[in-house]
Amino acid sequence: MHEYGFIKIATSIPKVNVADCEFNTSSLISIISQAGSQNVEVLLCPELSVTAYTCGDLFAQSVLLDSAEHSVEIIRKESLKWADMLIIIGAPLRNEDRLYNCAIAIMNGKIVGVVPKSYLPNYNEFYEKRWFASGYDRKGNSIKINNESTVFSTDLIFVKGEARMAIEICEDLWTPIPPGSRASMGGANVILNLSASNEVIGKHSYLVDLICQQSAKTRTAYIYSSSGYGESSTDLVFAGNAIICENGALLDKSKRFQLDPQLIIADVDIERLVNERRKINMSHNGYNDDKYTIINLDSKDYKFTESKFFRSIDAHPFIPSRDNLLSERCEEVVNIQSMGLMRRLEFTHTQDIVIGISGGLDSTLALLISVLAFDRLGLCRKGIYGITMPGFGTTDRTYLNALTLMKELGITIKEIPIADSVLLHFKAIGHSVDNHDVTYENSQARERTQILMDYANKVNGMVVGTGDLSELALGWATYNGDHMSMYGVNASIPKTLVKYLVNWFASRNDYSDTLKKSLLDVIDTPISPELLPSDKTGEIEQCTEDLVGPYELHDFFLYYCIRCGYSPRKIYFLAQRAFADVYSDDTIRKWIKKFYQRFFTQQFKRSCLPDGPKVGTITLSPRGDWRMPSDASFSLWLKDCESM
């Protein structure tokens, strides 16, 4: 296995000739060689790939069955060339007085186990019970192949490193309780399915959904290999389906209706699966796995070989990659945000809210969500008090955008400058206005929060917070300043997603061109708290990402740290690939160290967060999703960063 917990698994669609074991063996060996040259560790081939699936009553012919066993022996010897690669092929095997549709596991010149098919279809075009017996009706737990005995059971788990692999065959997947489901409760985190599934209209999309759902329910990687070109077309067509899913996500799949053989390779993240299962205590949860026979495949002489990395790493894991899904997801997110605020307004009998409008991304999103909530509750938008509070660093660009947004959305506009009150405060505490330190900055942030809180009291309303998930992760908020509100609608929205949500709002047909233009300019404005004076040209001097690092990097670090529990070194490994054309290795190293330093030292701010709706799988609420002591040491994580 890869040093970061990946295992390279391939699923294949070899070309076959019906009942031509010699041809099929040659085809399988070609696929095996191709996989071996790519350092594949597990190779899955289709159901009955040695004989082809559509042999019909020829399965009763001893000539075919003898030839199939001979082919298995040839492939067993061939496996010696590809040390430590587990090869799964399909063949009909005799045992006692019965014939079984079997998956044969081969590695290092040995047949390490045989799994017979459990559920046999007996309907429409499939009449497997005519030829085969169910694995549940087998006699004994051993089988002889070419005079060599090996374990023969429906309950085998093959172990390579942290990968625990179980096998099921075709129809098994379509049953109410597939064997793979039981195996997953017994500890299996990879399910290998050898299949021969014909093509009919609509079946493919259903199949992909079924595999993804099974993978999600069982917290496993689901590897599927189904017959393709070469099977009999007497009544059916086999289009070829090679599919790899991981925890509900489709990693890769083959093209259908291809004449040439196909090999689909993916780096499956076993560490992530193990972490997921550990979180929910899934393995062994109320299930007795004593029935499973464990086949240990780890070799003492195995050495990890660096090879091509087949896994695609999304640089923006919080954002759906498909445009059609992005729009749907954005609508879902804003519905969750607005529904949370609506319930809080209704429960507190509040018809007025106060928001600090800076002309930046976060306050813009909070305002848009508030307007949506008010509209859905039938409340007058004038009950939304947008307060702009220009200070020492406020630029014309953000100020004018703030005014435009409030005017176009029809809310109540208030402008309360903070310079005089902050200067009075500086005088009271003996701080020089020329000393632009943290006191200079935080005094402004706290003054703004005091204004918002006091004005909310004045109108008998509540303060809606604007801070987002990325800021909470980095602690990029003034304690008891913008850190505080009465309800934080953006609390679980990362900065990278905030941009997409604001852009989604800008695409609404009921918005004026002026409003849309302003929203798009907000997106293009550099992210800044505007607490330091602007430059000589009046432009923003204080850019947040220059100080704490690019938010797209920090959101990437946050996702894999919290959602997956990865080490800094593994996150760095993934970031190198996700941002290969964007950031240098040195840049990634610099900011990942900064991430861990800030994430640990700023926990005290997250320990007393206001209420806010959970939107995605990651939130940092201390009431449920993230419980961490404020004084936890980060020396282990920093040490891991230093080793990169």
Query: Would you state the pLDDT for residue 306?
Result: 72
Label residues 102-120 b or e (16+ Cβ within 10 Å = b): bbbbbbbeebbbbbbbbbb
Mean pLDDT of 582-595: 97
> Which stretches within 430-543 are classed as H helix?
438-458, 469-474, 495-506, 513-524
Question: Is residue 128 annotated as part of the catalytic site, yes or no?
Answer: no
Contacts of 417 (CB under 8 A, 6+ apart): 389, 390, 391
CB 452 within 8 A of CB 354: yes
Query: Would you state the pLDDT for residue 612?
Result: 96
**Phi and psi, residue 13, nearest 5°:** -130, 85
Query: Would you state the pLDDT for residue 305?
Result: 67
Place of tokens 């990278």: 496
Residue 639, CB-side half-sphere exposure with 13 Å CA sphere: 4
Query: Would you state the pLDDT for residue 307?
Result: 79
User: Using alpha carbons only, what angle is made at residue 298 by residues 263 and 158, rounded to the nearest 5 degrees?
Assistant: 65
Mean pLDDT across the chain: 94
> Which stretches within 80-191 are classed as H helix?
179-185
Give the pLDDT confidence of 152-201 residue by residue, as tens digits: 999 999 999 999 999 999 999 999 999 999 999 999 999 999 999 999 99
Residue 14, CB-side half-sphere exposure with 13 Å CA sphere: 33
What percentage of the chain exceeds 70 in pLDDT? 97
For residue 51, the SS3 value is coil
Residue 124 has pLDDT above 70, yes or no: no
- Here the tokens at position 507 are 């695409």
Give the pLDDT confidence of 245-262 residue by residue, as tens digits: 999 999 999 999 999 999
191 forms beta bridges with: 166, 222
Give the pLDDT confidence of 79-96 residue by residue, as tens digits: 999 988 999 999 999 998
**Phi and psi, residue 133, nearest 5°:** -100, 155
Question: Is residue 608 annotated as part of the catalytic site, yes or no?
Answer: no
Give the pLDDT confidence of 230-242 residue by residue, as tens digits: 999 998 999 999 9
Q: How many angstroms separate the CA atoms of 2 and 547, rounded?
A: 35
Report CA 463 to chain centroid distance, whole Å.
34
Q: How many angstroms separate the CA atoms of 252 and 11, rounded?
A: 10
For residue 389, the SS3 value is coil
Residue 288 has pLDDT above 80, yes or no: no
Q: Crossing angle of helices 396-409/513-524, nearest 10°?
A: 140
86 forms beta bridges with: 42
CB 557 within 8 A of CB 575: yes
Give the pLDDT confidence of 60-78 residue by residue, as tens digits: 999 999 999 999 999 999 9
Residue 237 burial class via C-beta count within 10 angstroms: exposed 0-12, middle 13-18, buried 19 and up: middle
For residue 355, the SS3 value is strand
Catalytic site residue from 21, 45, 102, 170: 170
Give the pLDDT confidence of 323-366 residue by residue, as tens digits: 678 889 999 999 999 999 999 999 999 999 999 999 999 999 99
Q: Which domains does the chain have, with CATH numbers?
A: 6-296 (3.60.110.10), 323-642 (3.40.50.620)
Catalytic site residue from 117, 253, 570, 605: 117
Task: Residue 497: name the closest of 289, 249, 316 by CA.
Answer: 316
For residue 448, the SS3 value is helix
**Phi and psi, residue 365, nearest 5°:** -65, -45
Please tell me the chain's helix, strand, coil percentages from 3-state DSSP, rounded to the nearest 5: 40, 20, 40
For residue 85, the SS3 value is coil
Q: 572 falls in which pLDDT band (50, 70, 90)? A: very high
What percentage of the chain exceeds 90 in pLDDT? 87
**Phi and psi, residue 233, nearest 5°:** -105, 20
Give Rg (Cα) of the chain: 30
Residue 164, CB-side half-sphere exposure with 13 Å CA sphere: 24
Strands 163-169 and 148-151: unpaired
Query: Would you state the pLDDT for residue 530?
Result: 87
Which stretch of 263-267, 402-406, 440-444, 506-510 has the lowest confidence by average pLDDT? 506-510
Q: What is the pTM of this model?
A: 0.91
Catalytic site residue from 47, 78, 171, 530: 47
CB 80 within 8 A of CB 112: no
Query: Would you state the pLDDT for residue 125?
Result: 64
Q: How many angstroms separate the CA atoms of 429 and 381, rounded?
A: 40
Q: How many angstroms separate the CA atoms of 439 and 441, rounded?
A: 5
Query: Would you state the pLDDT for residue 541?
Result: 80
Q: 280 falls in which pLDDT band (50, 70, 90)? A: confident
Residue 408 burial class via C-beta count within 10 angstroms: exposed 0-12, middle 13-18, buried 19 and up: middle
CB 445 within 8 A of CB 481: yes
CB 11 within 8 A of CB 264: yes
Residue 37 has pLDDT above 70, yes or no: yes
